[in-house]
Amino acid sequence: MSIETLRRDNAQFIWHPMAHPRAMQADRPDIIARGEGCWVWDVDGHKMIDGVAGLWSSNLGHSCRPVRDAIVAQLDELPFFNTFRGTTHPRAIELSRALVDVMQPEGVAAVMFGNGGSDAVEGALKLARQYHKLRGHKDRSKFIAMRQGYHGVHFGGMSVNGNTNFRRPYEPLLPGCFHIDSPWLYRNGYTQDEAELGRIVAAQLEREIVFQGPDTVAAFIAEPVQGAGGVIVPPANFWPLVREVCDRHGVLLIADEVVTGFGRTGHLFGTRLWGVNADLWCLAKGISSGYVPLGATAVSRRVAEVFDADTSGGGQVTHGYTYSAHPVAAAAALATLKILLEDDIAGHVARVSPAFQQRLRGLARRHPFVGDVRGHGLMLGIELVADPVTRATLPKTSDLPARLARAAYRRGLMVRVSGPNVILSPPLVITEAELDFLCSTLEAAFDDVRPT
Ligand SMILES: Cc1ncc(COP(=O)(O)O)c(C=O)c1O
């Protein structure tokens, strides 16, 4: 098929996530045709460093031979069978055991599989409600989440999403979902002191739980570092305080680790960054390094024990997908996990990321349209502003983020734009030399553009 036909057919036949179908005709997406290591090539043969890891996913890069081999071997052995009660298969069993092993410090007892992050969130929200029902707390159905949070696109996850753009077209959503502020140092009306901000927002959570009635609240869900919302790193005291608040009121804590899980912050899990254990974890993306879609909800012993002890039948998990624990995805995840641990990929991230974070902070000093550069590990957000002194937001119509992304693309770097933010989340196996190239290319792209 010719490149022009590909472009034309794309505009005509695919409805892309988060895009207006008609806009795809005028503003055609880049067609990525090939990947190798931390690099990708578009259909015109233009080579770029993948600054987004596919979409926070390709943590081991695009040509990881052991993952590829595991997938091929699994296709030869058993391409598919289901895990609905009466049957299972070896890879599902091996992967569940491997995940529970690796999450021993988290106190995880079991995992429930789905096909991606939205599934993982849906599973966690449903298990949270069921857990309370099993304990006789039938009114505990509400969820509290944070503004700027992103939890996928199913009705549950969409209802706890902290960005109304994702919700408005599909309202009305799940009743009983409420939002507190994000502990966002750069943009909050309270304070510029990190510890104070952590205390203020944790207190806000407590007030909301008390206001709703603790006996009506099932869970609080949050990302250890908010990703899609602009890479917002909470103050260090925030998660420990949140854990205390949840415990005081019998509210479950759900950590949405879809982005932060499996090493992106320099820790195997984002909750380790904060020294806190959740009750349920949402896992996806890096779980299979993006090679095959997979998601999982990890269940703590505390939650699992309630299901195990149930004799009423109410503990039956009436949730699951045809492709839960798909054998090929499970094989990819097993191979991914092995490399992640044997090569200490999280340790690699912890070693190489401070210089990366430090260097790109320099963009805020050099360009008046850069308001804030923030992040942790190999996730970084650059917020573009209209005025760095007043922190006035970029007009919604501004094409500056898109022009920056184009400039980076031309120079050989793929970045992601989310609202006024330029976001970077390269593969975790990226070398120091590649990170240096990524930073130089981004710096040059910033030099290329004028704010108006
Ligand atoms: C924190 C978080 N949760 C959930 C999701 C949804 O994952 P998926 O797109 O695989 O459904 C995402 C996707 O980016 C995410 O960042």
CA–CA gap between residue 273 and residue 105 (Å, rounded): 13
Instruction: List own/partner pairs for 189-198 with CB under 8 A and 24 or more apart.
Output: 194/235, 194/236, 194/237, 195/235, 195/236, 195/237, 197/235, 197/238, 198/234, 198/235, 198/236, 198/237, 198/238, 198/241
What is the best residue among 119, 259, 262 to mutate for testing ligand 1's pocket, by most ligand atoms within 8 Å of CB? 259
Q: What is the pLDDT of residue 451?
A: 85
Is the CB of 228 within 6 Å of ligand 1? yes
Q: What is the pLDDT of residue 26?
A: 83
Is the CB of 150 within 6 Å of ligand 1? yes
Beta bridge partners of 418: 421
Q: Give the amino acid at 331.
A: A
Q: What is the pLDDT of residue 72?
A: 98
Q: Which domains does the chain have, with CATH numbers?
A: 31-63+344-448 (3.90.1150.10), 68-342 (3.40.640.10)
Is the CB of 256 within 6 Å of ligand 1? yes
At 149, phi and psi to the nearest 5? Answer: -75, 150
Is the CB of 118 within 6 Å of ligand 1? yes
Q: What is the pLDDT of residue 452?
A: 75
- Longest Cα separation, the chain: 66
The CA distances from residue 441 to 51, 173, 360, 407, in Å, are: 11, 42, 11, 9
What is the best residue among 55, 57, 258, 269 to mutate for testing ligand 1's pocket, by most ligand atoms within 8 Å of CB? 258
**Cα 20 to ligand 1 centroid, rounded to whole Å:** 20
* pTM beyond cutoff 0.85: yes
Question: Can you tell me which residue has the tokens 């207190």?
Answer: 203
Atom number of ligand 1 nearest to Cα 256: 1
CA–CA gap between residue 344 and residue 353 (Å, rounded): 14
Mean pLDDT, 10 residues at a time, over the chain (452 residues)? 91 91 86 98 97 98 98 98 96 98 98 98 98 98 98 98 92 97 98 98 98 98 98 98 98 98 98 98 98 98 98 95 98 98 98 98 96 98 96 94 97 97 98 98 96 80
Q: What is the pLDDT of residue 22?
A: 87
Is the CB of 162 within 6 Å of ligand 1? no
Is the CB of 154 within 6 Å of ligand 1? no
**Cα 310 to ligand 1 centroid, rounded to whole Å:** 31
Atom number of ligand 1 nearest to Cα 119: 11
Is the CB of 271 within 6 Å of ligand 1? no
Among 61, 100, 106, 121, CA closest to 283:
121
Is the CB of 243 within 6 Å of ligand 1? no
Among 278, 282, 269, CA closest to 112:
282
Q: What is the pLDDT of residue 401?
A: 96
